[in-house]
Every structure is written in C-alpha cells, then in structure tokens.
C-alpha cells in the first residue's frame, strides 16, 4: 500500500464531493454508534486524497469537509439560509425514544397527542426556493447557515417540479437522493464514461448534485419533508402554513405536485400514542429492505405547530423532532477473493470472499455477486474496498467498489472459461451462466441434498455411496433410489448385509415423507425448506402444485411475480423426475391438509388452517394462530432437532414459524446463546419460553 494517494483520485469536483460524503458518513457512524464504515487506514487515505484535492482547488473546498480547512471567504456555501438548516438529534432504541418524549412533554408541561412519524431519507438536505410558483434556486445545507447554490441541477431531479400547482412563494425543504434504479443507471453511465463507478447512492447523489461539467447527466430524486414561507411573507397563505399541523403542511406540499413520501409504502402517518409511534417504527424498519430508496431511520416530530413553537430549538437541532436511527445496512470492507459455485441446477454463481465485517448483528464473510455481468457492470477488482449491503433477512451482497480507495494494487477478477465443477463448457447465453450439463453437473450434490436430513432424510447415503451408485449405473437421479434392489446394493463395494438392509429401510421410510419435504428434495430454485412447507400447505398435493400456473403460484406468501414463473418452468423441467417418484409410490400429499375455506365463510383462509396433523379443527392445536420464532441452541427433548424440524413442529402444532421478531410475534423460543432476537422480543414485550417449556407446550406433537 502506498502512502501518498494515487494521482488519479478525484478527477473533478463531483468526485471530490463524493469522497467528502464517504468520509463524513464514516465519521458520523464512528461518533454516532461507534460502528465505523471505514477502517482507520482507509479513512486516512480518503482524507489525504481530500486534502490533496483541496490544496489544488482552494476555491472548491466544501464547508463540511473533514479537513476543516474551509477558508474564510470560500466561494462555495455562500448563500445564506433564511432559517438555519439544522440537524436532528438521534436515539437508537425504543427506551431512549420514550425518554426523549418524556423530557419533551416535561418541557411543554402537557402530553403530546399528535406525533408525525416518517422515514428518515438517506440523502442530502436541500432547500428548493419557489417564487410565484416557479423554482428559482436550489441551495445545499452547507454549514447550516449558508449553503451552496446548485441551481444547475434544476430539471434533473424527479419529484421537484419547475412549477408548483399554485403561484406561491415558498421554500420547500427535503432530501435529494438516488433511488436504487437511478443509482444503477448512474453507475452504468459512469462506467461507460470513465470506467469507474459510484460507491453508494448517497455519495453518488452528493457528487451528482455538484457536477456541472460532466458529459453525462444522472437523474436524482427529491422527497419533501417541510415547507417554509419567507420570514417576511405576510400573505394569508404564509400565515396558514405557519399554523397548520406538519401532516397538513405535507398534504399541501403533495398537492403542489411535489413528491413526498406519501407516494411510497413508508408514507408519513400521525400517531396519537408512543405505542403507535413504536408500531410504525417497526413497520418502517420491516419495509426498509424492500424500498426502492435508502432510509437510515425514522423521524418523529410533534405534529402540531403550537407544540413545535413552544419546544423550540437547541443550537444544533429542533427539540420537537428526533431521528430514531436504524442499524447500518452498509459497510466498506475488502474483496479478498471470488469463489465460483455451481448450484444444483447447474447455475454458476460467483461469491465474494470478504475481510470479515460486522453488519446487522452478524459477521459477514461471504456476499453474493449475482453473475459475471454484474461483476463487469460494477467494475470490481480483487483487493478493492467494496460496499457490502445487508438488511433484514436479505442475503448480503456486494454493491460497488469504492474507487476513491484504490491503491493501484487491485487485480482483475479471473473469470472461469469452463465449468469450475466438471470442466465442461459454460452456457453463457444468459446473464446467469450455467454449466452445459445443467442438473447433471451437480448430480451428486442434488441427490445428496434430496436425501438430506431436512428433505427425505435417508440415513447412510453419503456422497461416496452416491458416487458408487452413479458409477455403477444404478441411479441417474434421486428417484432411482426407490427402484434399487437388494442385490444391486449388495453388489456395491464395502456394502454388507446389515448396511444394505438399513439403507433400503431408510429409502422405504422416505416414501412416506410429507409433500413439503418431497417438494423440497426437488431443489427447485427459490424454494428452500420453509418455502417448500408453505407451498405444500397451500396446495396440499403435487397434482395441485403441477396444475398451478404462475398466477396461482404467486398466491403463496413470499413467492412474488418475479419468482413464480421460474418455479413453474422448473417444475416442467422436472416432469420426468416427479413422474418417476410417483411410480415409485412416494407420498405426494401434505398430511392433514384440508382445502382452504371458501372466501364467503367466516373461517380465515389462512395457510395456518392447513398446518395441523389431523384434518379438521386446527384451532384446538396448542399454537393455533400464533407466530413463533426460534433462536439460540435447543436443549433437552428438542436438542436433536434441526431448525427446519423445529419449524415443522411449530406448524404441526398449528403455529406459523417465522425467522424474525416483530410486534406480531406471539412467542419466542430462546435457547442458549440467544442474541439480538431475544433482546428485541424483550423490548417488544413478546412472550419468551425456553426449550423445556416449549416442549411441554407442544406435548405429544413432538
């Protein structure tokens, strides 16, 4: 690693602005919750690059630069704000939110009865000045009292119209950011232009907002969160805006054709109690991974103008609002290597090997890289500092390299020319590369998976045994196992009478496995253990699953329009295998399945109704209607159960198994070493039981 930053850093003002944003975010995370996004060395390199640029361009120094070198008369950030653009104080937990609200209510001398709850948009604050309904100036936050004129960006920001619906004079405040798709487009444009990319949507937005001399234009998005009449505006309109509740101001803003979060699934709401506030916080946190733009928390404000006016401001922030910060979903770490794995269906998938990094409560060592096109699109190199993203239950993924942190030691990622597993050719006609042998390439792994403990549970079928059978031509897929004769198995090397009989008995027992496990054994992409249980409970029989078209498959919770057509297509591919299983006498129904209640009856047409071991009254089952989460290691009677078997048990007992704790969770089964899920359940007041108590609850269903 060289000491001085490479001279290619920060080609222009926008690249400099991006680097400043990355450094500011790293410092804010470090001083906020102590989880820096950058290691010390990377941070120092970034700041050295910033210093080098500032030395050459003293007139472009940003007021917010971490070098603190802004000169007295810096030309940027010279537009005074009519009302200071302040920051928000933060809380990181439900308890701290309660403490903050209590101190605010003490200050007001009365309870707050209307709270406005909205997402905290992860972009950059901007003031959009409208005169007579026309957008005349855009000013960044700058140092809060003075900002930079970025009016050149007018016309490139979705959600910020050139004209309002009414000819009013007003300053709209809100966040400028890049949506996921705008970020993708921007990365493609920049790659085509100079072969590099943006680190993340926030720094991309920061750079883009200042870019004046780029030969390509990147689109931005605006979401408004406030409206200010000029302090000297004595019009009726201005007077009205000053006294309206915040929620009504926002409705007025939306009525002016300006985008607000009203147009999104995380629309602002008004809550009357802190419990309702907390409920909305949970909802927004759950929705976060699926949003088409980044949020980093939830902003809670007094909705009533009178409450806001009385609470006032501290030097940094309003006392009437607070940011409830959500855990970071991104970290920067090193890309150490790329592994190429061949999936059960022959798909060749690259996986990033990372310098381990803590994110969302877990240590991340691997992250998905999707496919080769994705690697090229992002311009990744070995040794790159990369942004890794993980939120909720999503698989961690590598977003982009941080080009500003390159040292010159990065190397291209070797791309395989032949299938890394069997050496045959690669079918590269689609974005997802595939071994030309398809499923046959992974036949050993596919059969091993089908025989696994959570699928058909055929004990004694180790990988070497499967290989022997394949080599001897006894089997070609896992359905052939059911046609093996005693003589054939006995004829294999190192196969005695007892082990032969044991293996054949295990295969015989496998015929009676529930449909959920038989379906899971097929290895259809996107249908792991819990999804297979959902599918089996939804349809009840293999016949019904095979008869379903994509629309019918979509009705299964968690299988949206993106995944459903793939499931249908794979089932068609698997026709021969499924028919063979049927001929072998393998069970093709879900025990205890009853057809879903007709929509016009009172019974809830919920999948839970089909979860019981006996047809009929599922409501009498011990976990009927309960949503149950398991965490930590099980002990006692539950010790030998895999997580899948625990989930099956919950569903047999009438409950619904889930992997994350929320307000809707009815019960948490917490074993040894239970971590963040237990803490969250405690905060939410969810009932917590240990493995023994749970075993008692489910009784004989165990």
Residue 317: CB minimum distance to ligand IVH, A: 6
Q: Are strands 90-91 and 321-325 parallel, antiparallel or unpaired?
A: parallel
Residue 34: CB minimum distance to ligand IVH, A: 18
Tell me the Cα Rg of the chain: 29
Using CB under 6 A, which of the segments 244-252, 276-284, 317-325, 566-574 binds ligand IVH?
A: 317-325
Using CB under 6 A, which of the segments 55-63, 80-88, 152-160, 211-219 binds ligand IVH?
A: 80-88
Closest CB to ligand IVH among 252 and 694?
252
Closest CB to ligand IVH among 74 and 323?
323
Of the candidates 408, 455, 497, the one whose C-alpha atom is nearest the C-alpha of residue 446 is: 455
Is residue 299 a contact point for ligand IVH (CB under 6 A)?
yes
Residues in 244-283 at the binding interface with ligand IVH, rule: CB under 6 A: none
Q: Are strands 667-670 and 627-631 parallel, antiparallel or unpaired?
A: parallel
Cα distances from 413 to residues 38, 233, 435, in angstroms, run 23, 60, 20
Residue 202: CB minimum distance to ligand IVH, A: 11
CA distance 21 to 205: 9
Is residue 225 a contact point for ligand IVH (CB under 6 A)?
yes
Structure tokens at 403: 């080009």
Using CB under 6 A, which of the segments 117-125, 326-334, 558-566, 648-656 binds ligand IVH?
A: 117-125
Using CB under 6 A, which of the segments 2-10, 120-128, 457-465, 477-485 binds ligand IVH?
A: 120-128
Closest CB to ligand IVH among 269 and 624?
269
* CA atoms within 13 Å, Cβ hemisphere of 195: 2
Is residue 323 a contact point for ligand IVH (CB under 6 A)?
yes
* Phi, psi dihedral angles at 477 (to 5 degrees): -150, 180
Using CB under 6 A, which of the segments 85-93, 470-478, 481-489, 582-590 binds ligand IVH?
A: 85-93
Is residue 121 a contact point for ligand IVH (CB under 6 A)?
yes
Closest CB to ligand IVH among 87 and 541?
87
Is residue 318 a contact point for ligand IVH (CB under 6 A)?
yes
Is residue 138 a contact point for ligand IVH (CB under 6 A)?
no
Residues 6+ apart with CB under 8 A from 261: 118, 119, 121, 223, 225, 267, 268
Using CB under 6 A, which of the segments 51-59, 316-324, 457-465, 543-551 binds ligand IVH?
A: 316-324
Residue 638: CB minimum distance to ligand IVH, A: 44
DSSP codes of every residue in 281-296? HHHHHHHGGG-SS-EE
Helix runs in 256-393, H state only: 274-287, 305-311, 372-378
Closest CB to ligand IVH among 118 and 477?
118
Can you tell me whether residue 94 is helix, strand or coil? helix
Residue 621: CB minimum distance to ligand IVH, A: 44
Catalytic one among 69, 96, 120, 580?
120
Closest CB to ligand IVH among 311 and 510?
311
Quick count: other Cβ atoms within 10 Å of Cβ 620? 10
CB 154 within 8 A of CB 140: no
Closest CB to ligand IVH among 268 and 346?
268
Per-residue binder mask for ligand IVH (CB under 6 A), 153-182, x = binder? ----------------------x-------
Bridge partners of residue 386, in order along the sequence: 333, 401
CB 144 within 8 A of CB 85: yes
Using CB under 6 A, which of the segments 106-114, 116-124, 482-490, 561-569 binds ligand IVH?
A: 116-124
Give CB contacts under 8 A, 24+ apart, made by 369-376.
369/338, 369/397, 369/398, 370/397, 371/431, 371/432, 371/433, 372/415, 372/428, 372/431, 372/433, 373/431, 374/431, 375/338, 375/350, 375/413, 375/415
Closest CB to ligand IVH among 118 and 303?
118
Give CB contacts under 8 A, 24+ apart, made by 317-323.
317/86, 317/87, 317/88, 317/89, 318/86, 318/88, 319/104, 319/107, 320/104, 321/88, 322/88, 322/89, 322/90, 322/91, 322/97, 322/100, 323/88, 323/89, 323/90, 323/91, 323/120, 323/297, 323/298, 323/299
C-alpha 207: how far from chain center: 25
Residue for token pair 């409920």: 279
Residue 248: CB minimum distance to ligand IVH, A: 16
Torsional sign, CA 72, 64, 125, 212: positive
SS3 per residue for 11-59: CCHHHHHHHHHHHHHHHHHHHHCCCCCCCHHHHHHHHHHHHHHHHHCHH
Binds ligand IVH by CB under 6 A, chosen from 24, 28, 88, 490: 88
Binds ligand IVH by CB under 6 A, chosen from 125, 135, 266, 332: 125
Residue 231: CB minimum distance to ligand IVH, A: 15
Closest CB to ligand IVH among 302 and 405?
302
Using CB under 6 A, which of the segments 60-68, 118-126, 337-345, 388-396 binds ligand IVH?
A: 118-126
Binds ligand IVH by CB under 6 A, chosen from 120, 319, 580, 678: 120
Torsional sign, CA 65, 67, 68, 71: negative
Binds ligand IVH by CB under 6 A, chosen from 25, 54, 60, 118: 118
Closest CB to ligand IVH among 268 and 523?
268
Count of residues binding ligand IVH (CB under 6 A)?
14
Of the candidates 433, 398, 325, the one whose C-alpha atom is nearest the C-alpha of residue 96 is: 325
Closest CB to ligand IVH among 222 and 225?
225
Can you tell me whether residue 700 is helix, strand or coil? helix
Is residue 87 a contact point for ligand IVH (CB under 6 A)?
yes
For the chain, how far is it from start to end, CA to CA, in angstroms? 58
Residues in 611-640 at the binding interface with ligand IVH, rule: CB under 6 A: none
| Residue closest to ligand IVH (Cβ) | 125
Using CB under 6 A, which of the segments 81-89, 238-246, 304-312, 414-422 binds ligand IVH?
A: 81-89
SS3 per residue for 643-668: HHHHHHHHHHCCCEEECCCCCCCCEE
Look up residue 331 and give its DSSP letter. Answer: E
Binds ligand IVH by CB under 6 A, chosen from 29, 47, 61, 86: 86
DSSP codes of every residue in 445-503? HHHHHHHSTTTT--TT--HHHHHHHHHTTS-SSGGGGGG--HHHHHTSTT--HHHHHHH
Closest CB to ligand IVH among 140 and 609?
140
* 347-382: b (≥16 Cβ within 10 Å) or e: bbbbbbebeebebbeeebeebebbbbebbebbbbbb
Residue 552: CB minimum distance to ligand IVH, A: 40
Closest CB to ligand IVH among 177 and 520?
177
146 as an active site residue: the answer is no
Q: What amino acid positions are annotated as catalytic residues?
A: 120
Residues of the shown chain interacting with ligand IVH in the complex, contacts defined by CB under 6 A: 86-88, 118, 120-121, 125, 175, 225-226, 299, 318, 321, 323
């Amino acid at each position: 690693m060289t000491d001085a930053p490479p001279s290619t850093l920060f080609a222009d003002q926008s690249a400099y602005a991006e680097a400043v944003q990355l450094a500011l975010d790293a410092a804010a995370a470090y001083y906020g919750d102590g989880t820096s996004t950058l290691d010390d060395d990377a941070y120092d390199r970034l700041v050295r690059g910033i210093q080098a640029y500032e030395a050459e361009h003293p007139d472009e120094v940003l007021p917010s630069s971490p070098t603190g070198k802004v000169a007295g008369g810096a030309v940027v950030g010279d537009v005074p704000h009519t009302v200071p653009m302040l920051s928000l104080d933060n809380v990181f937990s439900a308890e701290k939110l309660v403490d903050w609200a209590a101190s605010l209510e003490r200050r007001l001398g009365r309870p707050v009865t209307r709270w406005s709850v909205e997402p905290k948009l992860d972009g950059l604050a901007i003031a959009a000045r409208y005169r007579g309904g026309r957008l005349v100036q855009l000013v960044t936050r700058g140092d809060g009292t003075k900002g930079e004129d970025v009016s050149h960006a007018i016309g490139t920001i979705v959600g910020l119209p050139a004209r309002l619906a009414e000819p009013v004079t007003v300053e709209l405040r809100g966040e400028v950011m890049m949506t996921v798709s705008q970020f993708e487009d921007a990365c493609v444009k920049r790659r085509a232009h100079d072969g590099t990319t943006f680190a993340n949507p926030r720094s991309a937005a920061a750079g883009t907002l200042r870019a004046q001399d780029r030969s390509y234009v990147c689109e931005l998005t605006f979401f408004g969160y406030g409206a200010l009449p000029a302090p000297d505006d004595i019009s009726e309109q201005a007077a009205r805006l000053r006294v309206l509740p915040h929620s009504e101001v926002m409705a007025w803003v939306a009525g002016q054709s300006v985008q607000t979060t009203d147009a999104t699934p995380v629309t602002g709401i008004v809550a009357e109690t802190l419990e309702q506030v907390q409920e909305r916080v949970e909802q927004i946190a759950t929705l976060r991974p699926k949003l088409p733009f980044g949020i980093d928390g939830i902003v809670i404000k007094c909705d009533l103008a009178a409450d806001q006016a009385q609470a006032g401001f501290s030097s940094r922030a309003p006392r009437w609002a607070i940011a409830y910060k959500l855990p970071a979903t991104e970290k920067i770490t090193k890309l150490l290597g790329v592994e190429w794995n061949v999936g059960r269906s022959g798909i060749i998938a690259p996986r990033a090997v990372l310098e381990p990094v803590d994110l969302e409560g877990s240590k991340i060592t691997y992250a998905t890289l999707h496919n080769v096109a994705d690697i090229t699109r992002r311009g990744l190199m070995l040794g790159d500092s990369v942004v890794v993203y993980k939120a909720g239950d999503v698989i961690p993924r590598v977003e982009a390299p941080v080009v500003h942190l390159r040292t010159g030691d990065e190397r291209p990622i070797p791309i395989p020319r032949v299938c890394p597993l069997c050496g045959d050719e690669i079918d590269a006609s689609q974005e997802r590369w595939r071994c030309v042998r398809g499923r046959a390439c992974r036949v050993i792994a596919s059969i091993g998976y089908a025989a696994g403990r959570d699928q058909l549970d055929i004990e004694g079928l180790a990988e070497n045994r499967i290989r022997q059978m394949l080599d001897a031509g006894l089997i070609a897929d896992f359905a052939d196992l059911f046609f093996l004769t005693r003589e054939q198995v006995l004829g294999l090397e190192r196969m005695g009478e007892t082990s032969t009989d044991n293996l054949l008995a295990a295969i015989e027992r496998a015929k009676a496995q529930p449909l959920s496990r038989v379906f899971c054994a097929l290895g259809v992409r996107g249908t792991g253990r819990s999804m297979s249980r959902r599918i089996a409970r939804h349809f009840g029989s293999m016949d019904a699953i095979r008869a379903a078209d994509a629309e019918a498959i979509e009705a299964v919770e968690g299988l949206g329009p993106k995944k459903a057509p793939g499931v249908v297509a794979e089932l068609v591919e698997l026709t021969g295998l499924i028919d063979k299983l049927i001929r072998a006498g393998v069970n093709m129904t879900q025990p205890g399945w009853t057809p879903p209640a007709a929509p016009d009856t009172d019974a809830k047409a919920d999948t839970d109704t089909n979860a019981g071991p006996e047809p009929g009254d599922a409501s009498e089952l011990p976990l009927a209607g309960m949503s149950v989460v398991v965490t930590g290691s099980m002990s006692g009677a539950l010790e030998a159960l895999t997580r899948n078997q625990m989930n099956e048990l919950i569903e047999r007992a009438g409950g619904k198994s889930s992997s994350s704790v929320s307000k809707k969770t009815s019960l948490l089964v917490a074993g040894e070493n239970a971590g963040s899920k237990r803490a969250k359940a405690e905060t939410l007041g969810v009932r917590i039981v240990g493995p023994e108590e749970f075993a008692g609850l489910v009784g004989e269903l165990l």
